[in-house]
Structure 1
Amino acid sequence: MSSRYPQLLEQLRSRPSCWLVTGGAGFIGSHLVERLLGLGQRVRVLDDFSTGRERNLELVRQAVGEEASARLEVLRGDIRDPRACDAAAEGAQVVLHQAALGSVPRSIAHPEATHEVNVSGFVQVLQAARRAGIRRLVYASSSSVYGDSPALPKVEEAVGRPLSPYAASKACDELYAAAFARCYGLELVGLRYFNVFGPRQDPAGPYAAVIPRWFEALLSGRAVEVFGDGETSRDFCYVQNVVQANLLAACVEAPESLGRAYNVAVGRRTTLNELFVAIRDHVARLRPELAAVQPVHREFRPGDVRHSLADVGAARALLGYEPTHDVAQGLREAADWYLSPEGHAAPAAPGAAREGAA
């Protein structure tokens, strides 16, 4: 582990402040809320609960206890609403912007909604931060901005043409962040997430990510469908690595570290075939009869990138980022969650569990 992150955690414990986490009831957002409350911070969540879940915040409260939970304020509101954004930003010192409509296939089915939430909503959050005098805003971008660029590993300066409305929306966010930094002096840092996974990631719905859906499918006795031959690869990143990157970006002081977007990943590729075997082996601990089950392969899905691998050198050098979990370590922790009664309680969507690689 980098020496910078443990030192940062100690600094935060001694210097409590107020943080706004948009989308704080979501998968990644709730992990950020939990860590911040555990560090003695005051946390305000803005979420419309369209994809976030009350249950995630209940689990956070259980994890941190009553005293820390008293420092949590939850506002139900839409980031497209300037009044909701202004109310959430008032008195905050830092914003961690996680609210978004994720998923490449969702964006292909609903491009207008993707734009309204991911772009127009982001501009409203930026405006509210500016009006409130907030100095630092860290926002979630995506590896999808690399689009059709074939180069591996992905380096921040070499992006391609977007392959989906979701990718276009995240590329727009980066452009707006750069414009607001120049025009209004906001300190902005973007984080390009690469296929984040971990506890609380929802397996339900047609746009759920691959790892929770596969766990849920196997545990429920449903077929796992893989789009393509299974040799599509991703740089899967455990959620605690993402938490680290957000806190480092929120607190970094060096001017040269600001005003740019960083890859947040591990820097290793895993094919979907390898991922399936690893998940199946974890599930077989509970269900030995599944040890030899095989997935069903379907046609490739429009908008998906064939291979993705991050170069995290910039985040290491300029933020002090050092992943604490590789895929195997992350899957062990995620498996403990999904195999538990708590993790397996989430209802799954009907039908086969399909792989998106996003």
Structure 2
Amino acid sequence: MSILITGAAGFLGLNLIEVLNAQSQPVVALNDRALPTAFAVKPGVTVELADVRDRVAIADILSRHDISCIIHAAAITLGPKSAIASASDAFDVNTVSVAILLEEGRKAGIRRFVYPSSSAVYGAAPFDGAAVTEETNPMPTTLYGFTKLASERLVVEAGKSFGISTVRARITAVFGPHEHETGVRETMSPPFQIAAKAVAGEDVLLPAGGARDWTSSRDIAKALVLLATRESLPSDLYNLSVGETWHVNRLSALLAKAYPGWRFADGKADGSDSAIAFNDDLSRRRHAVSAKRFETDFGFRFMAPDEACADYVGWLQTNAS
């Protein structure tokens, strides 16, 4: 049986294919545009081109493949300005598609539905000083956060009504291998932006603030695959995060060693002199989202920040053009 990944050519999707392929797990990779050739030709990967909002196409794909699980990674990742898509388009892609996949998945007899949600559902909670756990009340403050929380509600209700095993994963800030411009993410991660500057030999200034619990894309993919393939799940809700905040100058220091001649330096506190875009209010301290429930239930260890940074730099040196 195969696992269907939506948004398969995206940042998370490519990491998911990589993890599943390494486990010899057959994958149906659904995307609205072609996958990179290196992924499309992997053994055990079948590519389907379709829009996640197209119910007829989704039903047809599910009827032609023996799908046991759907990991619905397709999304429009809006920033604070919500500038890359209309509210209607964002809602259709991020929420209406969830209803379509759940309904058509039930008809096709899927066993599990994995929904990669976002820590954006917690709104300002990470700035309040208390630990952000799965028990923290979700109070989104952005359109993106609202679409994710609405989708979570659909997933929970489908689990109750359809008898499908469902699980939500609230993912924190992600960085690492396979991040690339797709047109559906309003702001690329600061680690990605800095890495691009280093590869291009363009020096950068960095503000003192902006620390986040940046978590390796490889770890997030491994965690989602565990949620997709484990026979039974202790919970239907997990936070996914490295569990500590760190500043991007830690990555920058490794990049400076890997790319001699490239430099970074302290800039203005408000980031006004930096070419790197941050979504956060740089004057406020953000606290990490806690993933202790997931770590305990699955015996999982997220790469520590320096380990994840070193892994990313190594990947860049092998793959960056």
When normalised by structure 2's length, the TM-score is 0.86
SS at match of 1:266: coil
SS at match of 1:104: coil
What CA distance in whole angstroms lies between the structure 2 residues aligned with 1:169 and 1:204? 20
Partner letter of residue 261 of structure 1?
A: L
Give 2:259's aligned residue.
Answer: 287
Pairing 1:70–2:43 present: yes
Give 2:141's aligned residue.
Answer: 163
Could you say if the C-alpha distance between residues 43 and 302 of structure 1 is closer, same or farther in structure 2, counting changes exceeding 3 Å? closer
Percent identity over the alignment?
Answer: 23
What CA distance in whole angstroms lies between the structure 2 residues aligned with 1:224 and 1:103? 25
When normalised by structure 1's length, the TM-score is 0.78
Give 1:329's aligned residue.
Answer: 307
What CA distance in whole angstroms lies between the structure 1 residues aligned with 2:5 and 2:202? 36
1:154-196 residue CA offsets vs partner (Å, 9 max, x unmatched): 1112134212111111111111111111111111011111111
1:199 and 1:338 in contact (8 A); partners too: yes
What CA distance in whole angstroms lies between the structure 2 residues aligned with 1:233 and 1:303? 9
Give 1:23's aligned residue.
Answer: 7
SS at match of 2:295: helix
Give 1:350's aligned residue.
Answer: none
Aligned match for 1:38, one of 19, 22, 26: 22
What CA distance in whole angstroms lies between the structure 2 residues aligned with 1:214 and 1:132? 44
Partner letter of residue 87 of structure 1?
A: D
Could you say if the C-alpha distance between residues 23 and 301 of structure 1 is closer, same or farther in structure 2, counting changes exceeding 3 Å? closer
1:39-64 residue CA offsets vs partner (Å, 9 max, x unmatched): 22211011113xxx632xx3336xxx
Aligned CA-pair RMSD: 2.6
Q: Counterparts in 2 of 1:112-131, with a 5 A limit?
A: 112-131=88-107
What CA distance in whole angstroms lies between the structure 2 residues aligned with 1:225 and 1:173? 38
How far off its partner does 1:301 sit? 6.9
Q: Counterparts in 2 of 1:44-63, with a 5 A limit?
A: 44-49=28-33, 54-55=35-36, 58-60=37-39
How far off its partner does 1:201 sit? 0.5
What CA distance in whole angstroms lies between the structure 2 residues aligned with 1:118 and 1:280? 33
What CA distance in whole angstroms lies between the structure 2 residues aligned with 1:313 and 1:127? 32
Partner letter of residue 298 of structure 1?
A: S
SS at match of 2:243: coil
1:244 and 1:321 in contact (8 A); partners too: no
State how many pairs are aligned: 307
SS at match of 1:41: coil
Aligned match for 2:62, one of 89, 94, 99: 89
Aligned match for 1:144, one of 115, 120, 128: 120
Q: Flag the structure with higher helix content.
A: 1
Give 1:178's aligned residue.
Answer: 156
Aligned match for 1:311, one of 287, 290, 295: 290
Give 1:298's aligned residue.
Answer: 272
